[in-house]
Structure 1
């Protein structure tokens, strides 16, 4: 088989957890403040992956209203114990400052499609939880331990405790089994057992350019754990020119043919400022067990851009145009929205249109009507048609390229002084104030009624908006913008603090509180091959 090119899950698909059940492979990834919670992709050949389910879909499982940007669902762990699937996750309620509020939960399902149970609360002592099913029937819960007093440091180590599935709670003693290495920021633990050894795979170095996978082992699950001879089995930290950067937070799987693979988080920076506009993605590396019973990355520890896996990727699917219509009661699985489980308050799909009900301003942490899909290519076109009749400047709806409340570009249909107009609103690297950038580009007056076609193009780092009224051809509106600010590196937090990725979609706000609706006829996402895209798949 010819090698495939990483990543295997392009665009915002962070913190991968992989499991094989028979012939089937599943990867769960973080979704943070985007609803529904957790994405699970499926493959039979490790090359071609399809999004099959979002397991956290209802209020009893997840309500993220009020969760700040880059909070919400962190680092899910997906496992199977021979009987059913187990999914462990954190719903982070606060992350900035001295404190982190990190409740951890478990849900289960008989099949990957569900039904997924209501959550069982486990603890809140730290994030990145995982569950290990030992061959004696015991289940072990591990998560990083946080210490707000920083004695000796905030990331204090990896804590182990038994989980009783019948009682639905942790039982027995707990112990800090691994305090990490000098790289610090130990998190993302996964436990495995092989040849009488317990292996503990962790992430270290933060999720930026010092990120790494660290491996340790012990004959006893309680430790002590010795560190791998290489210490960090995967990292780009010493290879600043490597195509895959920020490599870390991994999970190991043995393939059906007996080969071994590590899936891991990575980023593909562009521009001299090293901005990852596609966020943190999922890549795969071939691995092998040495004669010393340690796992090694083939050609590692630097991650490879090209990797041989059992299958060959269908490139035509990756480059095909996606035209979304709204003929069913459910949105296409590619779309997500922000935080709220009460979808009927922000959108409906009926009679071939998506209706967004104007709620809070774009960037609200509580209830905003914004439906979008991931940016998965460095260059693309997006297009929609909106029917919206605002009465003043506090009502606006349209097309947005969005990272978070501090970073977005937004072509809106709005009104001012009784006249309907098109106005571009931007918030570029506006943390911590969150102000719009002013002065605005000159607005364009449009007829008081009627549909408007809105479009944007991104070519590498350049974003341009377009519009058309009636049967007109699309024409430019506003200047070209720097699309690279829709990146983790500009996401509105301190270093290692922005975790999602760029989205593009439709939004509607009504700051008058009257929930004025906007109707969208369709949405198009069209990948484009562009000469500037050095690391495109």
Structure 2
């Protein structure tokens, strides 16, 4: 019996997927970059319906290209943590472990020395364990890189061999990243992501009888690319091969949905079937928005448990927040924020923002702001509202400014202008004020209304194309609060933050 599969399987800001399969369940991780907490974990028993079950890590800068693996009942997530400013980002690599992935309890990071990004783990049949990664001689922005490997003592992270180059990659651009090794039919197969992460992006493969090489490049590389295709799904690359319980092969890979140049949600996770003949090379179908394949027969009889909503798995913050500035009473129906002087345009540090990834191309985000009783100068300096935020240089928000007693709209796109586009009009806040951001694949419209019986007034907009470009993240909806005072502002209260 066949089943229908729908892409993307993880929508909205979900790049660099990696998958492992254990005890009837697929587990998937993505990059999270500057979003806190890092590395979301999703679970599925059918590859169609995915549930976020946890976030594992706290990131101070950015978590790049995690790999998830399982060996003898222990789960491993290996990743790069980068921090710093400009091109001189510092790269530190680590992995964490757990014997119970459902518990959310992970080990402390096990750090290891490797000058580069995108580490992966391979457990060989003889008990030896190897780490592969994209080697950089100096910093993250170094354009010349290759795939290097060393044997590791998995309990400690100690290197048991020299770090050795095993492949330059296929494309000849000195930019091989995202390596994974698979052992099949006596061959070690090496998968890489190459040609940056945009329109030329691709996946290539090589193989060797020895894990140290030499690796022979597949004559029909790349095994996956969208370059030259006219499909909506573009920029495909950075993937991971895996098997289901029936032995069928699959691949997850990143890609975008490009609608006339608009793809504000960024890189997402796509699924495609793979045929891998004995002794041969994997044949990967190009991802489709919908496709059919034989239904997975070994699905778990036990349903994947629903997440504990009190843990707010889907909520995200900008970089590492001051968690004391946030509270979520009444079962998360209310969000209370302490305003700080940092804003949504602050390029480093954090700001008082909490939100969720945009998951649907057509969405409506709403919230209600309770009036603040202005009793002092610091109360008078607060501004708070609802935003669609991609990064510090691109965001749009509708908010109330207590200093000017005005409803305000602001649109920031520093790719086009150093100064934001703003609009305001006087408004005495005597009742609750409701904010709304309504989006289509082409535009985000920001509106407000006063009281429960008011009508929505559109107050500004930002084109989806302005959120689209050569970047790594995706759009998020969230509530925020800032202050123009030197001291923290009075707590502001939002109710019923929802995305539909």
Instruction: Judge which range, 88-97 or 28-37, deviates more.
Output: 88-97
Aligned match of 1:218: 208
- What corresponds to 1:27 in structure 2? 28
Residue correspondence of structure 1 range 340-419 to structure 2 within 5 A: 340=320, 342-344=322-324, 346-351=325-330, 352-359=333-340, 360-364=342-346, 365-389=348-372, 394-417=381-404
Secondary structure, counterpart of 1:90 in structure 2: strand
Q: CA deviation at 1:171?
A: 2.3
Q: Which moved more, 1:199-208 or 1:288-297?
A: 288-297
5 Å matches for 1:255-274?
255-271=244-260, 274=261
Secondary structure of residue in 2 paired with 1:14: coil
Q: How does 1:59-98 map to 2 (within 5 A)?
A: 62-64=58-60, 67=61, 72-94=62-84, 96-97=86-87
1:3 match: secondary structure: strand
Contact 2:389/2:395 (<8 A) preserved:
yes
1:47–1:309: 8 Å Cα contact kept in structure 2?
no
Query: 1:307 maps to what in 2?
Result: 291
Residue 192 of structure 1: aligned partner: 182
Q: CA deviation at 1:401?
A: 0.6
- Quote the residue 1:509 is aligned against: 482
Which residue of the partner structure matches residue 335 of structure 1? 315
Q: Does 1:181 align with 2:170?
A: yes
Is residue 4 of structure 2 the alignment partner of residue 15 of structure 1? no
Cα offsets for 1:1-46 (capped at 9, x unmatched)? 2432311111111100000002010111111111111011101111
CA deviation string 1:411-431 (max 9, x = no partner) = 1111235xx221112102x04
1:105-138: CA deviations, max 9, x gaps?
Answer: 1110111133101101112400111111111111
Contact 2:193 2:239 in 1 (8 A): yes
Out of 446, 449, 465, the residue aligned to residue 484 of structure 1 is 465
1:446 aligns with 2:447: no
TM-superposed CA distance for 1:367, in Å, is 2.4
Mapped to 2, the partners of 1:455 and 1:368 lie a distance apart of 21
Which of residues 398, 403, 406 is equivalent to 1:421?
Answer: 406
Cα pair 1:42 1:51 within 8 Å, conserved: yes
State the alpha-carbon separation in 2 of the partners of residues 11 and 382 from structure 1.
15
Pick closer, same or farther for the CA change 1:183–1:158 going to 2, 3 Å: same
Distance of 2:465 and 2:71 partners within structure 1 = 42
Partner of 2:53: 52
Query: Per-residue CA shift, 1:120-163, capped at 9, x if unaligned?
Result: 1112400111111111111111110113599xx73321110011
Partner of 2:100: 111
Q: Is the 8 A contact 1:29 1:76 kept in 2?
A: yes
- Following superposition of structure 1 onto structure 2, how do residues 146-157 of structure 1 map, counting pairs within 5 Å? 146-148=136-138, 154-157=143-146
Deviates more, 1:105-114 or 1:278-287: 105-114
CA distance in 2, matches of 1:54, 1:330: 14
Contact 1:388–1:413 under 8 Å retained in 2: no
Return the offset for 1:47: 1.1
Structure 1 distance, partners of 2:139, 2:459, is 49
Secondary structure class of the residue paired with 1:485: helix
Question: Are residues 466 and 154 of structure 1, via their aligned partners in 2, closer, same or farther at CA, if it must alter by over 3 Å?
Answer: closer
Distance 1:434 1:116, change over 3 A: farther
CA RMSD of aligned residues (A): 2.2
Relative distance call for 1:166 and 1:456 in structure 2 (3 A) is closer
Aligned match of 1:172: 161
Is there any run of 5+ residues in structure 1 with no aligned partner, and where?
57-61, 313-327, 490-494, 527-537
The 3 A distance-change label for structure 1 pair 309 and 20 is farther
TM-score, normalised relative to structure 2: 0.90
Match of 2:301 in 1: none
Give 3-state SS (helix, strand or coil) of 2:398's partner: strand
Distance 1:21 1:518, change over 3 A: same
Q: Is the 8 Å Cα contact of residues 267 and 276 (structure 1) preserved in structure 2?
A: yes
In the other structure, the counterpart of 2:494 is 520
Distance 2:53 2:20 in 1: 14
> Whole-Å Cα distance in 2 between the matches of residues 3 and 229 of structure 1?
32
2:90 paired with 1:101 = yes
Q: Deviation digits for residues 207-265 of structure 1, max 9, x if unmatched?
A: 101111111110001000011121110100121x1121111001011111121101111
Pick from 450, 458, 462 the counterpart of residue 439 of structure 2.
Answer: 458
Relative to 1, partners in 2 of residues 1:137 and 1:233: Cα closer, same or farther, differing over 3 Å?
Answer: same
Structure 2: tracts of 5 or more residues without a match: 297-307
How far off its partner does 1:53 sit?
0.9
Which residue of structure 1 aligns with residue 299 of structure 2? none
